[in-house]
Amino acid sequence: MSNVEELLRFKDKDTVFSNVLVADEIELGLKRIYAGEWFLLDPALEFSSFKINDKKVDFIVEDRIWNLSGVSILATSENVKLSSLTSSTHSSITFTSSIESSAEAKISILLKSVVSDPVKQWDSEVRERFRNEVKISCKEDKNSVLFNYNNDRFLSIKIFPEDTKVMIRQTQTNVFEVQFFLESMLASKEKFNVKIIYSFYENSKFLDEDRGWDVAKSLANVPKISSKNEDLRRLYYFAWVSLLSNRVTLKNHKALPYSFTMPSKVGYRHQWLWDSAFHSIVLSNYDIRLAKEELMNLFVNQKDDGRIPHEIFLTKEICKSIWGVNDYSPWTTQPPVVAVAVDRIICKEKDKKFIEIALSSLIKYDEWFRKFRDEDKDGLIAYHDPLESGWDNSKRWDAYVKKEKKYISEGMLPIEAVDLNSLIFVQRKVISNLARLLGHEKLSKEYEGLSIQLKEKIANIMWDDSTKFFFDVEDKTHKKTMVKTPAAFLTLFAKVATKEQANYLVEHLVNEKEFKRKLPLPTLSADDPDYNPKNFWRGPTWINLVWFTYNGLLNYGFKDVAKDLADSVIEAMARNTTCNEYYDSETGEPLGVRYFGWSTLITDIILKESEQ
């Protein structure tokens, strides 16, 4: 066994990944399977009844280990031992179980799967719209159950032994319950083996059916770290497994021709704009080709007016169901982090073709912001919707959200946001550099000039001298919102803050009443009356903001403060080896979806810390 594999053999990890199929493990059976874009099996595989000599029994789980092969379970009950392994290969998930009795016994097992659509957390209106457009059908074929949607196969459940009794019943529209009944007489020490294979085809024309990856081989390419801290090393490798496991390749897909990384197959099964930029940054430490591919779908899907879309769905149906748009993408964008990823890539490889593609795309994107997100033409760029900001439910937008329905039109009054303008500044610096690399000096100087103008506006208009902090401002009036968030620290990342302003920002950062909580950098200052350490963008800690702030601190020479920030976050994530969407800033409790892509930015921080 390799050192890496040994390091990853730890308990209580409960997800098995494959291409566009993911399962949550529970102590016995499978809790859920997320089948690509919207289909859900919940429960995926439940031991609804287990009898020994016609007496129903319960098992005690003795051990559960996550390793490179999958999730293995050892459970016991009376004279029976049950061991199972859930693993994924290519586009399938396989559950195998071995039942062994220490005495002669009659074993009776009833297994249950429930297939439904759509995902439960969607509101009833979205579910109803979806069900009007997509229909699931089901049929039995020998020892298999085949599911179709709109006459295209998407899932088969095959069980062995082949003589298993199978019963299917439809409980409601697009909801099917499948029961498997198995029975066997076991002699002493005899084993009874059960295997169930879930094989998924989102669309038989699109899915690369032979796509798979070898975890151990993939981890061999991960940059080495020298730390002797085993918790840190385990976190480091686990984060890489999380990122690489979320990668997807679809064959001949109209909107997603390049491989990409889903934010989390447990919760977000499309491609998102700023998520992919963060994924690309991390992948640049692993494989520069994958880092470039991560951005290519974004460039391919750029609209004629220059907008790079918020997200790219696997199918138009789901985009229409959620956003009311008959396209693979909605009408919004997201924070412009793409240029940050492009800059990271070209620092490592001067690929002329990629530079040409990126330059053309970023110029059109910047022009779109100037044309459509600067209504007062003052040079400061505004967000027009909370979802466009990436900070969905932040207090930053509370006073400005419109009353009309979300998703159909712009959801709030324009707010010239400090993080947005800091990223636009970086984008223009990157455009200037790309143009210079290609010998376009006039273009380079043009964007250098635009970046200088924007820097002056950020430093002068968004800075509040009474509180010594940067704030978002209202469009046209430039009235400061006075909502204190770590968006201000992106001025350090972009290098638009003066040295004096940076000193004041650090004072806020290390103030225990504001941003230095048990887990630092809450998304709302802790002295705000609406601070909530568990509520999404109203108080928890997000690793992407930690990454921006950490690098911003290094930009201004605050190495000790950067190290303290990194150490606190690494310790919290390594405590139970997690890579979650966000974390409780008071306790460090992991929150949101697990195996979350941009939280693997922690690997980039670990690498930098190892170099210090």
C-alpha–C-alpha distance, residues 157 and 35, integer Å: 12
The pLDDT score that the predictor gives to residue 576 is 83
Higher pLDDT, 471 or 32: 471
265-282 core/surface letters (b: 16 or more CB in 10 A; e: else): bbbbbbbbbbbbbbbbbb
Which residue do the tokens 């959620």 mark?
322
Which residue do the tokens 């009408």 mark?
331
The pLDDT score that the predictor gives to residue 249 is 83
Please write the tens of the pLDDT for every residue from 246-273.
888 887 788 999 999 999 987 788 999 9
pLDDT of 310 over the 50 cut: yes
With contact defined as beta carbons under 8 Å apart, do 551 and 278 qualify?
no
- pLDDT category at 406 given cuts 50, 70, 90 is low
Mean pLDDT, residues 218-237 taken together: 89
- Concatenated DSSP letters of 492-537: HHHT-S-HHHHHHHHHHHT-TTTT-SSSS-BSS-TTSTT--TTSTT
- pLDDT category at 407 given cuts 50, 70, 90 is low
Which of 241, 221, 271, 373 lies closest to 20, judged by CA?
271
% pLDDT > 70, the chain: 90
Q: Report the side by side order of strands in the sheet with 473-474.
A: 382-383, 415-416, 473-474
CATH class of 221-611: mainly alpha
Residue type at 423 in one-letter notation: L
> Which of the residue ranges 191-200, 244-253, 530-539 has the most confident prediction, judged by mean pLDDT?
530-539
> Which of the residue ranges 38-52, 55-69, 552-566 has the most confident prediction, judged by mean pLDDT?
552-566
Which of 172, 169, 176, 128 lies closest to 155, judged by CA?
176
Which of 90, 86, 12 lies closest to 44, judged by CA?
86
% pLDDT > 90, the chain: 67
- Concatenated DSSP letters of 281-294: HHHTTT-HHHHHHH
With contact defined as beta carbons under 8 Å apart, do 61 and 27 qualify?
yes
With contact defined as beta carbons under 8 Å apart, do 47 and 34 qualify?
no
Which CB contacts under 8 angstroms, 24+ apart, belong to 168-175?
168/138, 168/140, 170/138, 171/114, 173/131, 174/116, 174/117, 174/131, 174/134, 174/135, 174/136, 175/114, 175/115, 175/116
Per-residue tokens: 369: 């912001």
Please write the tens of the pLDDT for every residue from 359-372.
999 999 999 999 99
The pLDDT score that the predictor gives to residue 204 is 46
C-alpha–C-alpha distance, residues 273 and 303, integer Å: 13
538: left (phi over 0), alpha (psi -120 to 50) or beta: alpha
C-alpha–C-alpha distance, residues 25 and 93, integer Å: 11
pLDDT of 507 over the 90 cut: yes
The pLDDT score that the predictor gives to residue 491 is 98
The CATH number given to 13-200 is 2.70.98.40
pLDDT of 396 over the 50 cut: yes
With contact defined as beta carbons under 8 Å apart, do 319 and 266 qualify?
no
The pLDDT score that the predictor gives to residue 230 is 87
The pLDDT score that the predictor gives to residue 241 is 87
The pLDDT score that the predictor gives to residue 148 is 85
Residue 476 pairs in a beta bridge with: none
pLDDT of 22 over the 80 cut: no
Q: Which helix (H) or strand (E) holds 482?
A: none
Which of 24-33, 230-239, 401-410 is the least confident region? Answer: 401-410
Residue 386: is the preceding peptide bond cis (ω within 30°)?
Answer: no
Higher pLDDT, 582 or 65: 582
User: Count of residues for the chain?
Assistant: 612
- pLDDT averaged over the chain? 89
Mean pLDDT, residues 332-337 taken together: 97
The pLDDT score that the predictor gives to residue 11 is 47
Q: Which helix (H) or strand (E) holds 397?
A: none
The pLDDT score that the predictor gives to residue 19 is 56
Q: Rounded to two decimals, what is the model's pTM?
A: 0.88
Q: How many CA atoms lie within 13 A of 6 on its CB side?
A: 4
Which of 409, 393, 392, 412 lies closest to 401, judged by CA?
412
Residue type at 345 in one-letter notation: I
Which residue do the tokens 């092969």 mark?
69
Per-residue tokens: 492: 């350090």
pLDDT of 20 over the 80 cut: no
Calculate the CA 124 to chain-centre distance: 24
The pLDDT score that the predictor gives to residue 201 is 59
Which of 37-46, 296-305, 548-557 is the least confident region? Answer: 37-46
Which residue do the tokens 């209106």 mark?
125
C-alpha–C-alpha distance, residues 127 and 70, integer Å: 33
- pLDDT category at 28 given cuts 50, 70, 90 is confident
The dihedral of CA 529, 534, 538, 544: what is its sign? positive
With contact defined as beta carbons under 8 Å apart, do 104 and 190 qualify?
no
Residue 500 pairs in a beta bridge with: none
C-alpha–C-alpha distance, residues 331 and 374, integer Å: 17
Domains 13-200 and 221-611 share a fold: no
Mean pLDDT, residues 12-34 taken together: 66
Please write the tens of the pLDDT for every residue from 117-176.
766 656 677 677 777 777 888 888 888 899 887 777 778 899 999 999 999 999 988 899
Q: Where are the domains positioned within the chain?
A: 13-200, 221-611
> Which of the residue ranges 45-49, 51-55, 415-419 has the most confident prediction, judged by mean pLDDT?
415-419
pLDDT of 324 over the 50 cut: yes
